[in-house]
Amino acid sequence: MKVDRRSFLGLGLGAAAGVAVSPVAWKLMDDSSIWTQNWPWTPVPRDGEVTFDNTVCSLCPGNCGLSVRKIDGRPVKIEGRDDYPVNTGGVCLHGVAGLQYLYDPSRIKSPLKRIGDTFEQISWDEALELVATKLAEIRDAGKADSIACVTNHGMGTVPGLFQRLLTALGSNNFLSMDTMDKAWEKTLEKMHGVHGTLGFDLENAEFILSFGTGFIEGWGSPVSNFKANSSRKERGAALIQVEPRLSNTAAAADTWLAANPNTEADLALAMANVIISNNLYNTGYYVSGFGPGFDELAAMLKENYSPEAVAKTTGIDAAVIVDIAKRFAKSNAPVAIAGKGKGSTPGSAREFAAVHLLNCLAGNINTKGGAWILSPQDYEQWPAVEMDEVASQAIEKPAMDPAGSVAGFFAKAGAEKTVQALLISDANPCYALNDAKAITKAVQDIPFVVSFSSFMDETTRQADVVLPSHTFLERTEDLPSAAGMARRVTGLATPVIAPVFNTKNPGDAILAIAKAMEGTVGESFPWESYEECLEAVTGDLWSDLSDQGYAAVQETAPATRPSVDFSFVAQNPAPVEAEGTEADFSLILVPLDNVRIATGSVASSPFAVKTVPDTVLAGKDSLVEMNPETARANKLSQGDLAVLETPKGKATVKVNLFEGIMPGVIGMPRGLGHAMEENRYVSGKGVNINELMGPVMDAASGLDAAWGIRAKISRA
């Protein structure tokens, strides 16, 4: 057939028309777009019945109530529990991201035993037997007092079981991580002669004077504080923030007093001076409660802390000091708070006492909107521990650190190498304590280390045996409120899902270890399971705990008004200085706490890391914050790579310029630089500031009072 021009065009047009009307082309295009969007690796989440389970979060001491949305029994979303008295529906980002901890593939999936530098999976029976045998050996060798235990916090029945095990073995070396709680306890002992803890009624306070706290950055009970801050406007309550950097708290405050670093105590003492010399202190409390040392204090303040003199130390105008002091004293419900950043480290006794002095002078002790002196939590009703001769003798030996400081304990453990065994539960001292490298060395020197962690964190990496715990979403546990909350609420965490991996509740692990040890140790633990123990020990609280998921232990201020002993402050204790000399290190490095980065025993979740701005973390580099003036003086500009050096170490960082930080001060975010290789979303990002800072032990309290360290920086 001859193809002429006419038939060519005819056939061509016919074909074009045919293709156009035929659905085949459209169908193929549609199919291909559907096909390219249905890759087998794009998950299709299963649907099912929606249910909600309540539990309590234990990622931080805030202990918020959570409501977990489940589909067909599978948890898919964490929300705040609306009817929970701490957080009433609100929730922080770490709690919301809880499921990322639960399903984290880098979790420890079964008990482990160290073989050289690696771990081998073993069965629970073998692991528990191993620990029980080793502890019995140490005990039989007459070294029961050389067994130690470090938990994240000391409250509730799980830490209670650890402490009980140590007592039954014959050791006093039970410690919880150092936080501002310990500093408040020491303050109460010094100023009121009572043993207890301090809570602050911030939701009713009318004048909040914060000395460097991260009031809305994770200090105390974070969500409760966010709410107290939000209601300030309606209540007409003022917030004054004292800090050398414009933190989020300073930004939210009515007044930001940019005092020089480490002059918070001086400022508080100058304000106390103003209050006393103008007779603005609470006269009722003066008559009933002011004890020894008041006249000496007044004289000491008059001599050393005049507003004019302190204006020079702090850089705050004398008139401002006088004005704030007067407004504080005249307010109906003033409260002064201390504890830098999240309060995850203790501070100096001088600073805490100076701040609490303002509370005492204002007479707001145990009043609405004031500072509440709370007796130690005592709802737990433990039966007496059975003590054999070994235990009774060993327990007479004093604790390794008389002040009860973990930093002090590890310093001594590293120097004397007498600790034979260490149990670690929910704590990560090899990361979270100052001079993390020295702590790691001290832990390495302990012959037998048992970790109860859910994650292969820095401390667990050093363990000889790992008995992995349930995460908070798989656990039953009572969680008393702590850390600066005035109202006392004890929550009950209940599992929202069966354990994802082969883990145990640490309470059950302790019971099993004790039972494997014969004699009085085993006899001290008469319960079949942790749940049975919890129900028995929580006593009166149990019905509320099990019915509503929490028990309100105390709603109103305690009725007493303990007397005030002013002698400690009147002695004018010396400030705790930063390590290093000004000649070698002209700048000051301070840690920056931010609520988006977890700093405690658990690392941040992938979601939390995602929220961290690129002015804090860029790729694997930490950015340090400095004033443009500081940068100019050190020949640095935005984004430069620089070497930051302190007396404790060196790190390469990037520079972020921020007008809101005092010239001469460098700020470095805390909570970065984790070394948890299996978790690449979180690990290896940035620098751990605890490797650049060392502890500075405060002679007055025996606690680590480091608030910063001298430093220098130069272009890399």
Partner 1 sequence: MKQDKHGKNHKFGMVVDLDKCTGCGSCMVACMSENNVPFKEDESRKKDSITWMRVYKITNGKSFPETEICYMPRPCMHCGGKGDHGHSPCVSVCPAVATDYDHSSGIVSQIYTRCFGCRYCMGACPYHARYFNWWDPKWPEGMENYLSPDVSPRMRGVVEKCSFCFHRYQEARDRAYVEERDDIEEQEYQTACTQACPAGAITFGDLNNPDHEVYQMVEPDAHNCGKPKNPKAFRLLERLQTNPKVYYISEREWVRKAGDNYLEGEWEKVKNNHGNDHE
Q: Which of residues 489-528 bind partner 1 (CB under 8 A)?
A: 500
Segment interacting with partner 1, rule: CB under 8 A, options 72-80, 300-308, 417-425, 538-546: 72-80
Per the CB < 8 A criterion, the answer to whether 676 and 457 are in contact is yes
Q: What are the angstrom distances between the C-alpha of 448 and each of 125, 136, 394? A: 18, 12, 19
Residue 371 token pair: 């500072």
Cβ proximity to partner 1: between 175 and 626 the closer is 626
Cβ-count burial 653-670 (b if 16+ within 10 Å, e if not) = bbbbbbeebbebbbbbbb
- 100 lies in the site for partner 1, by CB under 8 A: yes
The reply to whether 236 sits near partner 1 by the rule CB under 8 A is no
* Closer of 491 and 507 to partner 1 (Cβ): 491
Q: Is 660 in the site for partner 1 (CB under 8 A)?
A: yes
Which residue's CB is nearer to partner 1, number 73 or number 402?
73
Query: CB-side exposure of 374: number of CA atoms within 13 Å?
Result: 28
Q: Is the CB of residue 651 less than 8 Å from the CB of residue 687? A: yes
In the bound complex, what is the minimum distance in angstroms from residue 24's beta carbon to partner 1? 20
Residue from 608, 631, 642, 700 binding partner 1 (CB under 8 A)? 608
Q: With the C-alpha atoms ordered 408, 409, 410, 412, is the resulting torsion angle positive or negative? A: positive
Laid out side by side, the sheet with 371-374 consists of 371-374, 197-200, 484-485
Q: Is 229 in the site for partner 1 (CB under 8 A)?
A: yes
Q: 422 — phi, psi (to 5°)?
A: -130, 125
Q: Does 103 bind partner 1 (CB under 8 A)?
A: yes
For residue 217 the two structure tokens come to 């950055």
User: Which residue number, 199 or 686, has a Cβ lying nearer to partner 1?
Assistant: 686
**Contact string 430-449 vs partner 1 (x = CB under 8 A):** --------------------
Based on the shown chain and the rule CB under 8 A, indicate whether residue 302 belongs to the binding site for partner 1.
no
Distance CA 348, CA 165 (A): 32
Considering only 27, 77, 417, 632, the residue that binds partner 1 (CB under 8 A) is: 77
Q: How far is the CB of 667 from partner 1 (least distance, A)?
A: 12
Q: Could you say which residues in the range 29-68 bind partner 1, by CB under 8 A?
A: 33-34, 36-39, 41-48
183: helix, coil or strand?
Answer: helix
Q: Give every strand in the sheet of 207-211, ordered side by side.
A: 255-257, 238-242, 207-211, 334-337
| End-to-end Cα spacing for the chain | 80
CA 421 to chain centre: 25
Q: Smallest distance from the beta carbon of 97 to partner 1, in angstroms?
A: 5
By residue count, the chain amounts to 716
Structure tokens at 121: 């999976």
- Within 280-299, the residues that bind partner 1 by CB under 8 A are none
Residue 312 in contact with partner 1, rule: CB under 8 A: no
Q: How far is the CB of 340 from partner 1 (least distance, A)?
A: 18
C-alpha neighbours within 13 Å on the C-beta side of residue 266: 24
Nearer to partner 1, 37 or 118 (CB): 37
Distance (Å, whole) CA 410 – CA 439: 6
Contacts of partner 1 in 4-33 (CB under 8 A): 33
> Do 342 and 218 form a contact (C-beta atoms < 8 A)?
yes
Q: Where are the beta strands (DSSP E) in 186-254?
A: 197-200, 207-211, 238-242
Considering only residues 539 to 578 of the shown chain, the ones binding partner 1 according to CB under 8 A are none
Contact status: 582 vs partner 1 (CB under 8 A)? no
Position among 7, 22, 133, 230 found at the interface with partner 1 (CB under 8 A): 230
Answer for which of 78, 131, 486, 602 binds partner 1 (CB under 8 A) is 78
DSSP structure class, residue 450: E
Query: Shortest distance, CB of residue 10 to partner 1, whole angstroms?
Result: 34
**Residue 44 gets which letter from DSSP?**
-
Q: Which of 12, 14, 383, 613 binds partner 1 (CB under 8 A)?
A: 613
Q: How many residues bind to partner 1 according to rule CB under 8 A?
A: 80
Asked if 234 touches partner 1 (CB under 8 A), the answer is: no
Orientation of helix 264-277 relative to helix 349-362, angle to 10° = 30
Q: Does 255 bind partner 1 (CB under 8 A)?
A: no
Interaction with partner 1 in 667-706: which residues (CB under 8 A)? 680-681
The residue with tokens 């001076």 is 273
The whole-angstrom separation of Cα 361 and Cα 370 is 12
Residue that the structure tokens 């202190």 belong to: 281
Q: Which residue, 282 or 627, has its beta carbon nearer to partner 1?
A: 627
Distance CA 86, CA 480 (A): 11
* 207, 226, 472, 566: which one binds partner 1 (CB under 8 A): 226
Q: For residue 277, give the 3-state DSSP assignment.
A: helix
Nearer to partner 1 among residue 248 and residue 505 (C-beta): 248
> Segment near partner 1 (CB under 8 A), from 12-20, 394-402, 528-536, 654-662?
654-662
Q: How far is the CB of 339 from partner 1 (least distance, A)?
A: 18
Cβ 55 to partner 1 shortest distance, Å = 15
Q: Is 239 in the site for partner 1 (CB under 8 A)?
A: no
Say if CB 567 and CB 296 are below 8 A apart: yes
Half-sphere exposure of 461 (CA within 13 A, CB side): 16
Give me the least distance between CB of 477 and partner 1, in Å please. 22
Nearer to partner 1, 91 or 276 (CB): 91
**Minimum distance, C-beta of residue 262 to partner 1, in the bound complex (Å):** 17
> Using the rule CB under 8 A, which residue among 53, 71, 368, 561 binds partner 1?
71
Shortest spacing between CB 47 and partner 1, in angstroms: 4
Q: Work out how close the CB of 557 gets to partner 1 at its nearest, in angstroms, rounded to a whole number.
A: 25
Verify binding: residue 631, partner 1, rule CB under 8 A: no
Q: Which residue, 173 or 210, is less far from partner 1 as judged by CB? A: 210
